Amino acid sequence: MRSAPVLRRAVVLAVLGILAACTPPEKPADVPSKDTFECTLEGERWVIRFTEGEARMLTPGSERITLYQIAAASGVRYSNGLMELRARAWSSS
């Protein structure tokens, strides 16, 4: 069985991979707002919506996961204690 830090690192890396596959914040017809990102990883659809102090994820299996914003040295960081999401801001022009 994996130890908690190793499992946590694996989950963080998986979420970072998903976020890297996300489309920029343009508003496609099937995405409700500019703060919502749709990601496709290995044919599976992930949706991440950023709200004030939260990142809400919808997994391919329809599981809803809420991550809460925590302090970050740079960019943004969200966690629920089991899963962590980190991102850097980008500009869309």
Return averaged pLDDT per consecutive 10 residues of the chain, 93 residues in all: 58 59 56 77 88 91 93 88 81 45
Contacts 24+ apart (CB under 8 A), 77-85: 78/54, 82/8, 82/11, 83/11, 83/12, 83/15, 84/8, 84/11, 84/12, 84/15, 85/12, 85/15, 85/16, 85/19, 85/48, 85/55, 85/57
What is the pTM assigned to this prediction? 0.60
Domain residue spans of the chain:
4-87
The predicted pLDDT at position 93 comes to 40
The predicted pLDDT at position 68 comes to 95
The predicted pLDDT at position 92 comes to 46
The predicted pLDDT at position 34 comes to 76
The predicted pLDDT at position 72 comes to 86
The predicted pLDDT at position 9 comes to 61
